[in-house]
Amino acid sequence: MKTTVLKSLRCVASIATAATLALAALPAQAGKTIDSIKARGQLTCGVNTGLAGFSQADSAGNWSGLDADFCKALAAVILNDATRVKWVPLNSQQRLPALQSGEIDVLSRNTTFTLTRDASLGLHITAPLYYDGQGFMVPAKSGIKDVRQLKGQTICVLSGSTTEKNLADFSRANNLGFKPVVFESLDALIGAYFGGRCVGYTTDASGLASVRNKEAKNPKDHVILPTLISKEPLGPMVRRGDDEWFAVVKWVIYGLLEAEEYGITRANVDSMKTTSQDPVVQRILGSSEDTGKLLGLDRDWMVRALKTSGNYGEMFERNLGPKTAIALPRGLNNLWNQGGLMYAYPMR
């Protein structure tokens, strides 16, 4: 009797395993957000109103930057055309409501991942595009070398951001008595700082570098202090309720990172698709397994993303790297095997 029961249990387990594997092999459905994007023929992407290196439009309305490049890659993946993006510039107060309301499909706007934003606003964080930290900029002539020398001083800060809360927390924890001067508009804040209304200006360190390069009459007249007071993982966000879209956005990021790790570039993607014998490269480029069907996409989804924006390293160097005017080092945004935090989930 005992043997018969064990055989029955093994049989049930085998059937369950086979059923699970069969379901896993089925193509995924596209999801309602992707259906909507395809129906309108356009990806609606929420971006910064203008932050050099991340998302900024030129005089002809052409958008560039790390966040903008990611949206172009998404459009190429979904619509096979990187130009089919509707750009929606949003300030810090507008960005999350715009995503919640469905005005945009994805928010790709140097936005920090936090518990509150992930757990209580009906939104999903995806994966970091840039690891940052909050810093301070001061006029070089002030002679200030350390953030604690700003004790009791006026600090320009943008409202409706994690920056404002971080500033208050750091001031209170270190008994610094900062005097925040709060602005709703980035333009007003920048004008106030460069006009001498505040002794210091605080935001993400990458944002400080961008503003210094773009707005200062002479960037060398302003110093970004070495101390960072927070962790600011920045990346795209989507609405809850569409797991398929969430998965696509997340895996495009991982694919761009994995491509860099395996040496796939915008220039060599076609040749590697046909000649590489590396199983990982073959999976990324769809020349062996069809990973696209697991996401409701076709097998060339990552090929199109890479032809559009290049791998993550190419995107970083083109928009933010040492050869750009912003001249940011890779630092934490290097790959995990080069001393950084950028670590893609395995594409298998």
How does DSSP assign 32-77, residue by residue?
A: HHHHHHHHHT-EEEEEESSBTTTBEE-TTS-EESHHHHHHHHHHHH
| Average pLDDT over the chain, rounded to an integer | 92
**Tell me, what's the pLDDT at 302?**
98
264 and 310 part of one domain: yes
State the pLDDT confidence band at 22, using cuts at 50, 70 and 90.
very low
Q: What is the pTM of this model?
A: 0.87
Same domain, 141 and 221: yes
Confidence of residue 20 (pLDDT cuts 50, 70, 90): very low
Residues 70 and 216 in one domain: no
Q: Are residues 115 and 260 in the same domain?
A: yes
Q: Are residues 118 and 140 in the same domain?
A: no
Banded pLDDT at 31 (limits 50, 70, 90): confident
- What pLDDT does 245 receive? 98
In a domain, 15, yes or no: no
Q: Identify which of 261, 279, 281 has the alpha carbon closest to the alpha carbon of residue 270.
A: 281
Model confidence at 30, pLDDT cuts 50, 70, 90, reads low
153 with 239, same domain? no
pLDDT at residue 12 greater than cutoff 90: no
For residues 160 and 111, the model is more confident at 111
CA angle 93, 98, 103 (to 5 degrees): 155
Instruction: With a cut of 80, say whether residue 96 has pLDDT above it.
Output: yes
Residues 152 and 207 reside in one and the same domain? yes
CA dihedral 41, 47, 51, 55 (to 10 degrees): -30
pLDDT for 340 = 98
Residue where one domain finishes, among candidates 205, 230, 255? 230
11: in domain: no
- In terms of domains, do 91 and 117 share one? yes
Q: Give me the number of domains the chain comprises.
A: 2
Domain identity same for 125 and 181: no
Domain boundary among 206, 230, 254: 230
The proportion of the chain whose per-residue pLDDT surpasses 70, expressed as a percent, equals: 91
Range of the domain at 221: 134-230
pLDDT of residue 36: 97
Which of residues 28 and 301 earns the better pLDDT score? 301
Indicate whether 117 and 148 sit together in one domain. no
Q: Is residue 25 very low, low, confident or very high in pLDDT (cuts 50, 70, 90)?
A: very low
Is residue 216, in this structure, part of any structural domain at all?
Answer: yes
Which CATH number do you get for residue 183? 3.40.190.10
Give the pLDDT confidence score for residue 185 in this predicted structure.
87
Which of 165, 199, 230 is the C-terminal boundary of a domain? 230
Q: What is the mean pLDDT of residues 229-253?
A: 97
DSSP 3-state assignment of 235? coil
| Pair (148, 210) in one structural domain | yes
